[in-house]
């Protein structure tokens, strides 16, 4: 079945306020960074003179990134340290406890905390807030260090503990315990990473979960109350239960027609409110239960399996045993409900699967096995757009391609392998500059051969094969898709919806078993040396020598300037091209043909250089399909391949970045210069045999 029979891709546009929006100021943008000291250095220097963060100062600009959203009570804000708010301070040793947080003051900041019900066993490695920090004398310096995951790496974000308050009350997040301030400090670090507190407005639960856990988040749209969407997987309960066995964290929310923010719904639930999901269990009688928690500790579900309901008479002991004795029946915000009731009432379920690097070591067998790959869509090279642009230049086959080999099936499935695939566009500057996020997605294809693909697939292959899975295409920071696949070899193609859109990206794959993953598919760089001279008659040889004597002068040697003059005259007369050769190209030609390093070419050297230039000139004329006098990237790659220089995508990027102009096109003189540089680089590579790949060598030699 051909790929042309597949339905065209239609992007899903996300609401603007679903994104954690613009402006970033931190280690992601080193040019804006002012703090160069380590946390240890800061602590040593500020045990008495408490630290003030120069990157994120206590000024209105750290609160608001736009004046039109500045609330009327903003002038009442006072920045206070926790020691100025409360005397008996507490910074928990285990900061993964539930955030029961409130937003007290500013009008625009209506979101409240999303209530990340993080299980303690999941975060035994002190993720988010490192241990060894406290308000105790001898340790406290006014600074704290927070770990936040960004684009494949954990970052240490240093902030001071001056917090915005009104009348001594925290404006933003506050813990249920009045003497706990770690949630407010973590929020300040997150605000710093995003540029301001206002930038967190309407923040996405999935982005926050990802940033604080390094996990992959999945969102399931359940539909409005009573109207379940067709996209809900039939095995959603199985997915949810398995996720929590593997240490997942999650959240859920409900909306219904006519509901406002924080509206009270039937059954004791609150519409427009985020609940944390704690667990999912199947009882011996077949009942499927899900446990949720209201971060505010108020307003619980009062239907079937609610606290004190009659259903608990028969199942309380079993649930208590399955949860390790955690079953509680009190008005603490935690409650259970049947999964069918959950699907009826709730509108959205969000699950965050935790990577093996921070999973619970005691349950290592249940941790996800993870793979992370980094790549980039580069205009005119590897930014081909989606399958709607299969034959464009660039087109879909030009996108980066990543092989995936699935070998071992899931523990609870005899024939299938689970793969959760995530694609993140990793362009912090796009948000800092207040630009829209790109619409991104990925498509998965199964290979028919037994071996993992080594070379990129071409347009003919994609036209004759149908995909086995694909994500939604959305203008989100991250898109995710869970696939249940047969064992075998696959190729994942991450792409933007439109071609010619540039960005770095991070591709992650979570599997239940260790599988076979490789780096991005790329043609292997190879450069064939072709020093064979064309046959020349005795008569032409004599005529060529007389011509050499006329242009070389008494010393019978040609300098770069003399070479430039003769080449430009010939090209102008024969090909109607003015000033085709630059002095830089002619210098490179002289250097390549001058083994004695005298700065000029004798007759034999000039003859070899001339034959090489004539060959490259003929190739240029042949592959300049549009007769523009310039090569685009595709013409350049084809011409170099014809000349015996087959470049990988990495090597091609090096050449384009070094020699193409702003429009990513290459002139005749630059094409000849590229050919000379590549030929000389490969000669040195073979002679020196350095301990690096050809691509690494070309980066070192060419891109300088």
pLDDT in tens, 351-374: 999 886 555 555 555 678 999 999
Residue 334 CB contacts under 8 Å (≥ 6 apart), including other chains:
278, 291, 292, 293, 294, 300, 328
CATH number for the domain running over 216-358: 3.90.70.10
CB-based contact 217:182 (threshold 8 Å):
no
pLDDT in tens, 688-700: 999 999 999 999 9
CB-based contact 440:425 (threshold 8 Å):
yes
pLDDT exceeds 80 at position 196: yes
H-state helical runs in 114-155: none
pLDDT in tens, 85-115: 987 676 554 443 333 333 433 433 333 333 4
Residue 451: the pLDDT is: 58
In eight-state DSSP terms, residue 474 is B
User: What percentage of the chain exceeds 90 in pLDDT?
Assistant: 45
368-521 topology per CATH: Jelly Rolls (2.60.120)
pLDDT exceeds 70 at position 21: no
What would the mean pLDDT of 634-662 be, rounded to a whole number?
91
Where does 595-679 show beta strands of DSSP type E?
A: 630-631, 645-646, 666-667
What would the mean pLDDT of 43-62 be, rounded to a whole number?
92
**pTM for the model:** 0.82
Q: Poorest-confidence range of 359-363, 449-453, 564-568? A: 359-363
What would the mean pLDDT of 658-683 be, rounded to a whole number?
93
Which residues are part of the catalytic machinery? Answer: 273, 294
The correct answer on CATH 1.10.238.10 for the domain covering 527-702 is yes
Beta strand 153-160 pairing with 143-150? antiparallel
Q: What is the mean pLDDT of the chain?
A: 82
**Residue 81 vs residue 7, higher pLDDT:** 81
Domains of the chain: which residue ranges?
23-203, 216-358, 368-521, 527-702
Residue 223 CB contacts under 8 Å (≥ 6 apart), including other chains:
229, 232, 347
CB-based contact 14:476 (threshold 8 Å):
yes
pLDDT exceeds 70 at position 562: yes
End-to-end CA distance of the chain: 47
User: Alpha-carbon distance 274 to 250, whole Å?
Assistant: 10
What would the mean pLDDT of 379-393 be, rounded to a whole number?
92
What would the mean pLDDT of 150-163 be, rounded to a whole number?
92
């Amino acid at each position: 079945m051909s790929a042309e029979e597949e339905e065209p891709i239609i992007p899903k546009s996300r609401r603007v306020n679903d994104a954690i929006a613009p402006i970033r100021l931190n280690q992601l943008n080193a040019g804006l960074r002012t703090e160069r000291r380590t946390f240890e250095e800061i602590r040593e220097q500020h045990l008495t003179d408490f630290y003030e963060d120069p990157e994120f100062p206590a000024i209105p600009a750290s609160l608001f990134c736009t004046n039109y959203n500045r609330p009327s009570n903003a002038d009442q804000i006072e920045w206070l340290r926790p020691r100025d708010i409360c005397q008996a301070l507490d910074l928990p040793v285990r900061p993964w406890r539930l955030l029961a947080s409130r937003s007290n003051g500013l009008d625009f900041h209506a979101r409240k905390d999303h209530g990340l019900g993080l299980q303690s066993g999941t975060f035994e490695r002190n993720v988010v807030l490192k241990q060894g920090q406290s308000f105790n004398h001898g340790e406290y310096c006014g600074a704290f260090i927070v770990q936040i995951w960004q684009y494949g790496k954990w970052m240490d974000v240093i902030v001071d503990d001056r917090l915005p308050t009104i009348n001594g009350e925290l404006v933003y997040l506050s813990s249920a315990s009045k003497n706990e301030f770690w949630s407010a400090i973590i929020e300040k670090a997150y605000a710093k990473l995003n540029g301001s507190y206002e930038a967190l407005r309407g923040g996405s639960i999935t982005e926050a979960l990802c940033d604080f856990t390094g996990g992959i988040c999945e969102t399931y749209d359940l539909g409005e109350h009573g109207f379940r969407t067709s996209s809900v997987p039939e095995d959603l309960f199985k997915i949810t239960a398995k996720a929590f066995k593997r240490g997942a964290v999650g959240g859920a929310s409900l909306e219904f027609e006519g509901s406002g923010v924080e509206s009270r719904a039937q059954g004791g639930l609150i519409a427009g409110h985020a609940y944390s999901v704690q667990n999912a269990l199947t009882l011996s009688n077949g009942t499927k239960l899900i446990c949720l928690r209201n971060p505010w500790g108020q307003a619980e579900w009062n239907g079937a399996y609610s606290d004190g309901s009659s259903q608990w008479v028969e199942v309380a002991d079993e649930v208590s045993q399955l949860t390790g004795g955690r079953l509680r029946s009190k008005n603490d915000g935690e409650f259970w409900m049947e999964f069918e009731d959950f699907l009826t009432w709730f509108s959205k379920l969000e699950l965050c699967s935790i990577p093996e690097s921070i999973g619970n070591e005691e349950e290592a067998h249940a941790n996800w096995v993870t793979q992370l790959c980094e790549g980039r869509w580069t205009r005119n090279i590897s930014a081909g757009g989606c399958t709607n642009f299969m034959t464009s230049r660039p087109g879909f086959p030009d996108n980066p391609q990543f092989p995936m080999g699935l070998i071992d099936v899931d523990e609870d499935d005899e024939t299938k392998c689970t793969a959760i695939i995530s694609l993140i566009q990793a362009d912090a500057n796009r948000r800092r500059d207040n630009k829209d996020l790109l619409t991104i997605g990925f498509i998965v294809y199964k290979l028919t051969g037994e071996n993992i693909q080594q070379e990129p697939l071409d347009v003919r292959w994609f036209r004759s094969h149908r995909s086995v899975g694909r994500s939604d295409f959305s203008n989100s920071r991250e898109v995710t898709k869970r696939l249940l696949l047969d064992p075998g070899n696959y190729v994942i193609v991450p792409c933007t919806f439109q071609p010619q859109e540039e960005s770095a990206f991070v591709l992650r794959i979570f599997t239940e078993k260790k599988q076979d993953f490789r780096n991005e598919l790329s043609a292997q760089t190879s450069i064939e040396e072709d020093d064979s001279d064309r046959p020349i008659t005795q008569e032409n040889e004599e005529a060529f020598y007389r011509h050499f004597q006329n242009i070389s002068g008494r010393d019978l040697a040609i300098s770069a300037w003399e070479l430039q003059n003769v080449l430009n005259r010939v090209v102008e007369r024969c090909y109607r091209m003015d000033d085709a050769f630059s002095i830089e190209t002619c210098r490179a030609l002289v250097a390549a043909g001058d083994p004695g390093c005298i700065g000029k070419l004798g007759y034999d050297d000039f003859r070899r250089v001339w034959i090489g230039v004539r060959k490259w000139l003929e190739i240029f004329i042949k592959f300049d399909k549009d007769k523009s006098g310039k090569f685009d990237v595709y013409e350049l790659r084809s011409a170099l391949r014809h000349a015996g220089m087959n470049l990988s995508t990495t090597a091609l990027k090096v050449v384009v970045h070094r020699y193409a102009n702003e429009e990513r096109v290459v002139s005749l003189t630059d094409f000849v210069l590229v050919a000379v540089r590549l030929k000389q680089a490969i000669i040195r590579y073979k002679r020196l045999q350095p301990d690096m790949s050809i691509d690494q060598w070309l980066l070192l030699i060419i891109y300088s």
